[in-house]
Structures are given as structure tokens and as C-alpha cells.
Amino acid sequence: MSHRYYETLQFFRHGRLLRATLIGQEPWFAARDLARLLGVSANVRLNDGLDADQWRTGLLRCGRGLVGEELMISESGAYDLILRRFYHPENRNLRQWLTHELIPALRAATRAAAA
């Protein structure tokens, strides 16, 4: 029996990995990677306090072909974490990077792969 998994693209900010994918048209991020970018321990339950539609678990496939179950955070959930739960003035730069660079690049790469 085969399981559905999500292909991820890898993005780097200050040498830290952030795996991302589109599910439907919505960007989703590997929670573990997002936590590292926020300087938060991987043991923190990032989905605590998020609405049910802002997180999910899923099988992610990364560049090396490995597949593993990961907690995933939606775009709106990421903004909630960045600007509310783990607020720090420097997180505005992270939000701007997601909004203006990563998400457009993710959508462009997905369109190119589908063509």
C-alpha cells in the first residue's frame, strides 16, 4: 500500500533550512524548520494555540528522497507564530521574507513543475 506524501522545496535563511510545499494553493511549512528559524526549541508544541485549520501532520519528502511524518504549519499559522506567539521585532524580517520571497518562489516553482 502506498501512502501519499508531499514533495517539499528547500529554502534557506541565514543558513537555516525551511521546507515548504503547496497543498492546494496554500503554502505549508515544516514546523521543525520554522521553529529553528524562530529560535524555538523543537520540543515546543507549535500547534498549541493554533486553530485546527492552521496545522496538520503529513508525510514530507525532501531532496534526499527521505519520507517522514512531520507537523506542518499553514501560512496563516506561520504568521500567527511569528507575529503573536513568538513575537520579536526582528521577526518582521522573517515575515517579509516569507511573504515577498519564499512564497512567490514556491508558487513559481510549482507552476514550472506542472508545466
Query: What is the per-residue pLDDT across 34-93, written as a single tens digit (0 to 9) for each?
Result: 999 999 987 788 889 899 999 999 888 765 666 788 999 999 999 999 999 998 888 999
pTM of the model: 0.88
**What residues contact residue 74 under an 8 Å CB cut-off, 6+ apart?**
26, 27, 28, 29, 53, 54, 55, 56
Q: Which domain holds residue 80?
A: 6-107
| Of 85, 98, 99, the residue nearest 50 (C-alpha) | 85
Residue 51 placed within a domain: yes
Residue 112 placed within a domain: no
Task: Please give the pLDDT value at position 62.
Answer: 63
Which is more confidently placed, 28 or 114? 28
Task: Please give the pLDDT value at position 94.
Answer: 95
Residue 115 placed within a domain: no
Whole-angstrom Cα distance, residue 17 to residue 37? Answer: 8
Asked if pLDDT for residue 1 goes beyond 70, the answer is: no
**Bridge partner residues of 35 (DSSP):** none
Domain containing residue 79: CATH number? 3.10.260
Residue 27 φ/ψ, nearest 5 degrees: -70, 140
Q: Please state the domain count of the chain.
A: 1
Task: Please give the pLDDT value at position 76.
Answer: 97
Residue 93 placed within a domain: yes
